Structure 1
Amino acid sequence: MTESNGSAAPERNEDMPDWEKRFRAPRVSLPDWAEDAPDRSLFVSNATGTYELYAWDRATGGQRQVTDRPNGTTDGVLTPDGAWIWWFDDKDGDEFGVWRRQPFDGGEDELAAPGLEASYPAGLALARDGRTAIVGRSTDEDGTTIHLARTGEAPVEVYRHRESAGVGDLSHDGALIAIEHTEHGDAMHSALRVLRPDGTAVAELDDTKGGTDELGLEVLGFAPVDGDTRLLIGHQRRGRWEPLVWDVTTGEETDLALELPGDVSAEWYPDGTGLLIVHSFEARSELFRYDLASRALTEVPTPPGTVSGATARPDGSVEYLWSSAAVPSAVRSTTGAVVLDPPGLKSPGSVPVEDVWVDGPGGRIHALVQKPQGVPGPLPTVFDIHGGPTWHDSDAFAAGPAAWVDHGYAVIRVNYRGSTGYGRAWTDALKHRVGLIELEDIEAVRAWAVDSGLADPDRLVLTGGSWGGYLTLLGLGVQPDAWTLGIAAVPVADYVTAYHDEMEALKAMDRTLLGGTPEEVPERFEASSPLTYVDQVSSPVYISAGVNDPRCPIRQIENYVRRLEARGATHEVYRYDAGHGSLVVDERIKQVRLELEFAERYLA
């Protein structure tokens, strides 16, 4: 058993392995820019060894570090006038805290919304007047509340409900507030409501009405023009995510009807005449400009791979964060320039990803394969399972899988039922038989990997973080003969205890996935809980957990570990002082090193 109250930086020298360089190399997020001061930007970087917020004045080229906390900071927003930076202040990664703000040019932090107690964040929208904010909060006691906060005035509550909800956007003139809510009780599919600042309703759009075949909606943003009441939203009416323009005053809906397979999202160009379209299909993405007047769709050229974020600038250029499995991420521009190139160590690349399609019990399963070049199989193989569950693996650069490949493993990532990007039916398929559905798809890909000669059946590692960690522990118990060992990071281990201890928004999600609470549907929670099958686990198990994690809390992990200990089962546990993962580079490297060493011990 290993404990950590911090991590010591390993000796740095020219012999540092490539896998470690990938974690240490400075990287940056896509810069956010102030609507009325576009030369002022905010981004996240790990340049100091911890992910923190940075201010960037494009006019002067000056950059400065905004936050400096032991466990890092990633949640920050610029006010539209570029005068202030809001950032979320929690304690050691527990996600429970308050918003603070700091002048863009530097200075002391102050409470951004005095009078609002600490909570889990539920969205934030900042007005162009520089003194008004719409602040979403979530607590176990109150559910979700949304407040109008003005400098020098007491916050005013404009929305409250027990079910999960969140701030979507604030109109350009500050007259309208869009929120996403799940008052109907389905946390996977939101409805939309538009309010005035006094809390009175202006419009409602709810695609969940009229039956059990719920359809979700999401807020993508108000038009960036004063007095314009058009709201860009995402919908699922044709079985996938697509954008449409909804005039919240007249009720008129303009369906773009884009002939693109897969999921489509969008944001406004700054002048409101067009939309920047982000199209995701089969683990890759591409960009387009959609002209609202002519309805013409024009491709915005990007290399093959994954666009993790994109934004249109006032001059019409587009900046985007791009990578592929083989090429590290970079913030690029359609002007041809690299927008941000952090100094210092450069990340080594990795091997490209290969696409595999496997017939499964619920349809064709898409898996992504990376393997050492020029090494014949069968190979020791890592099944690296993504979290979410409503997420997906893509052809994007990832230091974790690359580290396994460097050490001679093949890596397979499975976009199981529940993953996004393959249609609404695929995402929604895991309800009620939670975990078991995903494992059926993972098993189908495992069987293909062994039968094809790629994977050595005696050296199979099941691993993942968050939901992937949950599926790892569940898989070791439900499929004990399929896996040689398991490595679970920040997992759900005891579903009932996890439900009672987790943050309120995740309780709502679990009620949706399983059809009720542990008291209402105990048989479903039992069938989906790794703790139910812990006595069938025969492979060595490694578990890492953040002691402040509000998503996969530590108590339910300790319950599982005690059951392993009582059986004398082979296991190791690593606890560290953070929340749902770590933003400290040294700590992350330490975790990967421990995982690699664990696998080496038990596969040798």
Structure 2
Amino acid sequence: MTESNQNPTAVPVWEQRFRAPRVSLPEWAEEAPERSLFVSNATGTYELYAWDRATGIQRQVTDRPNGTTDGALPPDGRWIWWFADTDGDEFGVWMRQPFEGGADEPAVPGLGPSYPAGLALGRDGTVVVGRSTDEDGSTVHVVRPGRPEPVEIYRHRESAGVGDLSYDASLIAIEHTEHGDSMHASLRVVRAEDGSTVAELDDSKGGTQELGLSVWGFAPVAGDTRLLVGHQRRGRWEPLLWDVATGEETDLALELPGDVSAEWYPDGSGLLVAHDHEARSDLWRYEIGTGALVKVDTPVGSVSGATARPDGSVEYLWSSAARPAVLRSTAGGVVLEPPGPKAPGSVPVEDVWVEGPGGRIHALVQRPEAGEGPYPTVFEVHGGPAWHDSDSFAAGPAAWVDHGFAVVRVNYRGSTGYGREWTDALKHRVGLIELEDIAAVRAWAVDSGLADPQRLVLSGGSWGGYLTLLGLGTQPDDWSLGLAAVPVADYVTAYHDEMEALKALDRTLLGGSPEEVPERYEASSPLTYVDAVKAPVHISAGVNDPRCPIRQVENYVDRLAARGAVHEVYRYDAGHGSLVVEERIKQVRLDLDFVRRHLGVPSEVQGGNAAGAAADAPADGAPAGTPAEGR
């Protein structure tokens, strides 16, 4: 047992937040709702756990050096499915083991390794597996009861994936981008028996896909052929019901600002609606029969996941910037309590709106409890790019606050949650548009007295790491130091080495491949501006990363080294980030030390910022993730 486990107060507050055990929202088996599956870092690595609610018994399912987070339960709950890649490279096969425990076995013999592209498990034993490889593009395979060999029913070079399987396992909903725009999917429903088409839903206009569609789930009732679909026809995500047998569409125009998503209540009588608006989220129940919209009581902050149980109660994972995550139920109380010490809280977030070149920009600000501005300030840039920062708990920003920094997070153009036009605005001038918004918020931060212009850190991971390197080169006088984790550094090389789904995303964002639009890749590549970088830069990269591959990072580092630029590089044996808690702490510690040596900022404030510590709340702060389609 490590010292930190024996005496949690012997380590800095910021490390306690990362080490505190936490749990994900449990998935449950539809026909055996007492059987659940969740993710936890209780052993120091994020792994899958089985939970028998009837007996209270919890069991660790997976145990791998680089962790495991992708898992699923079939409706009967007999098996636990989990995705096995190699050293975090996201390329692998589905495995399974009995819910009660036992040996792992290949879940779908006959299918080789691939990147995952959706999985659906039927009540009758039907299995639908989505796959993506550089050689084959996107494929969908079906295994039917009594027929052990997987049958390919779909293939296309562009990105596609499994959306859902109908209640009776006869129909499969597929999201596809055959039109070539990987940001806006169309839908096709096919027969599981032979892959023949039943229905199509396509919002493209004149050959151009301008609006996106998303599969949110078939009705959970026998004989009901309605599919719950997300659409963007009014400029934001909203639900509609599409009867795939008759073609009838029922538009559910909910009077809620911002984006919504939804899932069925288990009896099919209503929808559980997750509403996201201006970096906060809440829950609603929509009654299908009457059209009534009833608020589900949750605190102000962010709901990162929710599910309706068979008894009508809702379980949800909630947090705020000040309060670590807690898994609660509308039936009352905490649903699942992780073992071990609780995470200290942090300071609340402030909302800032800044006028920018593309409209009002929303930023979230956290200030240290002690001292007055101007503060040394970290601009922590989110990844994605189709993602957004929210009023939710995150151990990384809290660590900077503990060390006397203000933290600013910008929901730049390209971020989700502010309407389709805002999300789609970054096309063709990729990276440069986001940095215009970040620059506008930077100017506000300096002019308002929040930020010390001589101690400004640009930092981010994944797409945020990309924007960090691009910003250091295109705005060299604006930043004192840069911290880039798993970044795109050389866009052309990244395109040629990355997984096929990201090639499709880059073609969508930039309007073609590097050979078709070389000038756009050059304009958007950090490597183009590397000789202009003035600030010291620290780069961390996973050597098995399929999204931001290591070769293109090395190309950038070689250019820094050739001109004697101040830089350090940390390479670690994992993929696009790490699921090992101590590895994540090591990376934050390296960043803090790099900043201390090159910026001269103080050490951690005595005692840290423990405001809002919750005795009954597990900590959030798992490694930053990104949507499967992005970085």
Is 1:367 paired with 2:363?
yes
Is 1:345 paired with 2:341?
yes
Superposition map of 1:261-340 within 5 A: 261-340=257-336
Paired residue for 1:3? none
CA distance in 2, matches of 1:208, 1:363: 26
CA distance in 2, matches of 1:429, 1:274: 34
Paired residue for 1:219? 215
Paired residue for 1:403? 399
Deviation per CA, 1:225-284, whole angstroms, max 9, x where unpaired? 112100001000000000111000111111111011100110000000100000000000
Superposition map of 1:62-461 within 5 A: 62-129=57-124, 131-150=125-144, 153-197=148-192, 198-210=194-206, 212=208, 214-461=210-457
Summarize the Cα distance change of 1:81–1:213 in structure 2 as closer, same or farther, 3 Å threshold: closer
Q: Indicate conservation of the 8 Å contact 2:179/2:208, yes or no.
A: no
Question: How much does 1:150 deviate?
Answer: 3.8
Question: How much does 1:324 deviate?
Answer: 0.3
Q: Indicate conservation of the 8 Å contact 2:203/2:209, yes or no.
A: no
CA distance in 2, matches of 1:150, 1:499: 37
Consecutive unaligned residues of structure 2, counting only runs of 5 or more, are 601-631
CA distance in 2, matches of 1:571, 1:11: 34
Q: Indicate conservation of the 8 Å contact 2:184/2:209, yes or no.
A: no
Summarize the Cα distance change of 1:458–1:542 in structure 2 as closer, same or farther, 3 Å threshold: same
Match of 2:30 among 29, 35, 60: 35
Deviation per CA, 1:403-432, whole angstroms, max 9, x where unpaired? 000000000000000000000000000000
Consecutive unaligned residues of structure 1, counting only runs of 5 or more, are 1-7
Question: How much does 1:336 deviate?
Answer: 1.6
Is 1:541 paired with 2:533?
no
Deviation per CA, 1:365-412, whole angstroms, max 9, x where unpaired? 000000111421000000000000000000000000000000000000
Question: How much does 1:335 deviate?
Answer: 1.1
Q: Indicate conservation of the 8 Å contact 1:9/1:586, yes or no.
A: no
Paired residue for 2:629? none
Question: Which SS does the other structure have where 1:551 is aligned?
Answer: coil
Alignment length (residue pairs): 596
Is 1:25 paired with 2:20?
yes
**Amino acid in structure 1 at the alignment position of 2:104:** D
Question: How much does 1:446 deviate?
Answer: 0.2
Q: Indicate conservation of the 8 Å contact 2:302/2:320, yes or no.
A: yes
CA distance in 1, matches of 2:411, 2:581: 27
Question: Which SS does the other structure have where 1:199 is aligned?
Answer: coil
Q: Indicate conservation of the 8 Å contact 1:381/1:409, yes or no.
A: yes
Deviation per CA, 1:41-81, whole angstroms, max 9, x where unpaired? 00000000000000000000000000000000000000110
CA distance in 1, matches of 2:221, 2:370: 56
Question: Which SS does the other structure have where 1:559 is aligned?
Answer: helix
Summarize the Cα distance change of 1:231–1:9 in structure 2 as closer, same or farther, 3 Å threshold: farther
Q: Indicate conservation of the 8 Å contact 2:179/2:209, yes or no.
A: no
Question: How much does 1:337 deviate?
Answer: 1.3
Question: How much does 1:508 deviate?
Answer: 0.1
Is 1:523 paired with 2:519?
yes
Question: Which SS does the other structure have where 2:348 is aligned?
Answer: coil
**Amino acid in structure 1 at the alignment position of 2:494:** A
Question: Which SS does the other structure have where 2:10 is aligned?
Answer: coil
Question: How much does 1:209 deviate?
Answer: 3.0
Q: Indicate conservation of the 8 Å contact 1:465/1:489, yes or no.
A: yes
Q: Indicate conservation of the 8 Å contact 1:495/1:556, yes or no.
A: yes
**Amino acid in structure 1 at the alignment position of 2:134:** D
CA distance in 1, matches of 2:411, 2:492: 26
**Amino acid in structure 1 at the alignment position of 2:401:** V
Q: Indicate conservation of the 8 Å contact 2:48/2:69, yes or no.
A: yes
Question: Which SS does the other structure have where 1:146 is aligned?
Answer: strand
Paired residue for 1:575? 571
CA distance in 2, matches of 1:244, 1:591: 44
Paired residue for 2:620? none
Deviation per CA, 1:19-57, whole angstroms, max 9, x where unpaired? 000000000000000000000000000000000000000
Question: How much does 1:210 deviate?
Answer: 2.9
Summarize the Cα distance change of 1:184–1:211 in structure 2 as closer, same or farther, 3 Å threshold: closer
Paired residue for 1:5? none
Question: Which SS does the other structure have where 1:338 is aligned?
Answer: coil
Question: How much does 1:12 deviate?
Answer: 6.0
Question: Which SS does the other structure have where 2:365 is aligned?
Answer: strand
CA distance in 1, matches of 2:3, 2:423: 40
Is 1:560 paired with 2:561?
no
Summarize the Cα distance change of 1:366–1:169 in structure 2 as closer, same or farther, 3 Å threshold: same
Is 1:513 paired with 2:504?
no
Question: Which SS does the other structure have where 1:154 is aligned?
Answer: strand
Paired residue for 2:621? none
CA distance in 2, matches of 1:567, 1:525: 23
CA distance in 2, matches of 1:396, 1:210: 40
CA distance in 2, matches of 1:12, 1:532: 50
Question: How much does 1:208 deviate?
Answer: 1.4
CA distance in 2, matches of 1:277, 1:379: 40
**Amino acid in structure 1 at the alignment position of 2:337:** D
Q: TM-score, normalised by structure 1?
A: 0.98
Summarize the Cα distance change of 1:11–1:300 in structure 2 as closer, same or farther, 3 Å threshold: closer
Question: How much does 1:212 deviate?
Answer: 3.8
CA distance in 2, matches of 1:309, 1:545: 29
Question: How much does 1:211 deviate?
Answer: 5.5
CA distance in 2, matches of 1:440, 1:181: 32
CA distance in 2, matches of 1:301, 1:254: 27
CA distance in 1, matches of 2:315, 2:542: 35
Paired residue for 1:499? 495
Match of 1:597 among 593, 600, 623: 593
More moved, 150-159 vs 14-23: 150-159
Question: How much does 1:287 deviate?
Answer: 0.4
Is 1:15 paired with 2:10?
yes
Summarize the Cα distance change of 1:32–1:147 in structure 2 as closer, same or farther, 3 Å threshold: same
Q: Indicate conservation of the 8 Å contact 2:179/2:207, yes or no.
A: no
Q: Indicate conservation of the 8 Å contact 2:510/2:521, yes or no.
A: yes
Question: How much does 1:11 deviate?
Answer: 8.6
**Amino acid in structure 2 at the alignment position of 1:395:** D
Q: Percent of aligned positions with the same letter in both sequences?
A: 80
CA distance in 2, matches of 1:545, 1:150: 42
Q: Indicate conservation of the 8 Å contact 1:369/1:412, yes or no.
A: yes
**Amino acid in structure 1 at the alignment position of 2:402:** D
Deviation per CA, 1:344-365, whole angstroms, max 9, x where unpaired? 1100000000000000000000
Q: Indicate conservation of the 8 Å contact 1:366/1:416, yes or no.
A: yes
